[in-house]
Amino acid sequence: MSVDPFADFAPNNTPFKPLIAAADGSNFTYESLHDRVPHILTDVINDFYHAVVDYSGPDADATVAEGKALIGELSKIKHEMVTNKPLTPLEDDGCGDIDTWNAWLGTYFPKATWYSTPFLTWETYLYRRIATVFGRSKYWNKFDFFAKKKESTFRASMVAVAKLCSRVDALTKESIDAKGSETKLHLAFIEMLHASLWGNQTDLSMFPDLSNEKLEEMQARISSGENNSKIVSNDTDKIWDIVKQMQSGRVDIVLDNSGFELLQDVLLAHWLVSVGYAGKVVFHPKRIPWYVSDVTNPDFHWLVNVAQDPEAIGASGMSDTDKDALKRLGRTWAGFLASNVWELKDELYWTGPYGYRFLPTVGKDVWDNELTKSDVVVFKGDLNYRKLIYDLEWPVTTPFVDAIGPIATDPRAPAIVALRTSKCDTITGVDAERAEKLFKAQKNWMYSGEYGVIQFSPGRWKK
């Protein structure tokens, strides 16, 4: 039986060293804090500046004046970050979670500065603080400061999007016809699950300058299966052993990135429902703009609307066959949403300060009322993985089930699946021999975004 290796865990009391920026600048945490994330914040400021100066709608003078003041606040955050100032309490934006955030900071990190604080702490704090800048404003409180980048990247790859949808449309029909052949269904499930995994490579918080050409290269590797040799921990067959038993079950997907990754997640949900394994899929997006490209409710509906009417965003170059398949799937998805076969639930916990081992306690409402009612919960992407295990210098061979602790051992726990391409130097569940070869071959393998994991906790399905 698995044993929780740190039953007395607290955010500031962990059994392994947390990821903190190295004083000599030698680790990925330092690189992120010193270079990568300030670059992202600079992009936010520059993009918002153009939105402000180009604004010509109602109350233009007041809106522009307020926008310029917000630019000053964003610039202040960047200055505090690069000069290693303390993490100050968040100002209330009315979202409902600021008391939780500030109590957490005061309890666990009362004297924290940017460079003395664990990676997961300062990074989530940053995005929550950016959101408060807009959330407290009068004219810009609905503004998604990442929306333009998210939508433009997806819009530019519509030919590949339509081609992928055509492939999944055909695969779904083949799977429905193959209901008596477990082998064919197993192979189809592998294709869909692995595509959802590798969609996580299209992460604008990790690759803010992702070009359309690079995106199409990624899409081609995903579709061909070329990436699958880079899955360093693979529980696909264990997951299939549960899915194949389900009849109109419930699947929850805790979403990560919008755009192409969201499309892969939606296609996985489409296949699960259409073939009959799931009768209900609950998607969990973010309530506020988060980590550049994370899915919000509007992002999800935008994708479904675009699928139904790609010409509305000027999409062209698609074959008639692919375009018809895209529109057909879009109409199906709109129907799933209208009939509540698919639901969106954007709980605040996903943008809160606590990791997921606290779901049964701090996140009790989400755990008791949602996740424990599910058969399988899929956590997508790098940040969700880091919040599952925490940003620690884990021995890489630590079993994933041990690392996630209470959400694995709760007797009501659903099966938990983590689909993650690794973009941070923390990982668990990797075979010692495989890890040794990886470290010898590529020093940065854990945060290059080239390698992935498909990891699994059986929860109450455990035999």
Per-residue pLDDT tens digits for 14-23? 989 999 998 8
Residue 456 has pLDDT above 70, yes or no: yes
For 39, 116, 160, the CA distances from 36, given in Å and listed in that order, are: 5, 17, 28
Q: At residue 140, does pLDDT exceed 50?
A: yes
Amino acid in the structure at residue 94: G
pLDDT of 226 reads: 73
Q: Identify the residue whose tokens are 């979670």.
A: 97
- Write the DSSP assignment of 25-88 as a string of letters: S-SHHHHIIIIIHHHHHHHHHHHHHHHHHT--STTHHHHHHHHHHHHHHHHHHHHHHHTT-B-P
C-alpha distance from residue 299 to each of 176, 255, 257, 304, 455 (Å): 29, 11, 10, 9, 27
Residue 105 has pLDDT above 70, yes or no: yes
- Tokens describing residue 93: 């934006």
Instruction: Supply the pLDDT for residue 10.
Output: 92
| pLDDT tens digits, one per residue of 178-226 | 988 999 999 999 999 999 998 877 644 444 445 556 656 666 666 666 7
- In this structure, which amino acid lies at residue 349? Y
Q: Give the SS3 label for residue 383.
A: helix
Q: Edge-to-edge strand order for the sheet containing 231-234?
A: 231-234, 452-457, 415-421, 376-380, 249-254, 278-284, 342-344
Res. 7 pLDDT band, cuts 50 70 90: low
The CB-side HSE value for 247 (13 A sphere, CA atoms) comes to: 1
Predicted confidence (pLDDT) at residue 25 exceeds the cutoff of 90: no
pLDDT at 199: 83
Q: How does residue 3 score in pLDDT terms, banded at 50, 70 and 90? A: low
Residue 279 DSSP class: E
CA pair distance 399, 403, nearest whole angstrom: 6
Instruction: Report H helices in 109-205.
Output: 119-135, 147-155, 158-177, 182-198
Nearest to 220 by CA among 303, 169, 164, 156: 164
